[in-house]
Amino acid sequence: MLFLIHSGGAGPRGRTPDTAMRDATLGRGHYACGVLGLGAALLAMFLAYSVLVAVASLVPLLSTTAIAFVGIVTWVVLWLVFDAALIWLNQQAAA
């Protein structure tokens, strides 16, 4: 891997150092949203587990697959919602 050192001014892809710092912070925010979404999905699955099992038992051979699918879809949807909220808040703060 090749690392280039810039002596100031616009960095790679024309970004200034403060923009690059904001991008790095936002990148960590995306990961934090994923972890927060996972925690919220696990909490939702824990609270609604009896309902999920009752609904999933309608398809006996695929019941565990259905529960896992609902869990993964819940996590991804919550991640996207939290990420969209983070981007919106960052845009509001920058304006």
| pLDDT of res. 1 | 44
Both tokens assigned to 20: 């690059």
Chain centroid to CA 17: how far?
25
Low-confidence ranges of the chain (pLDDT < 50): 1-3, 6
Distance CA(43)–CA(14), nearest Å, equals 43
Q: What is the pLDDT of residue 91?
A: 87
Distance CA 75, CA 67 (A): 12
pTM attached to this predicted model? 0.71
* Contact status, residue 78 vs residue 39, Cβ threshold 8 Å: no
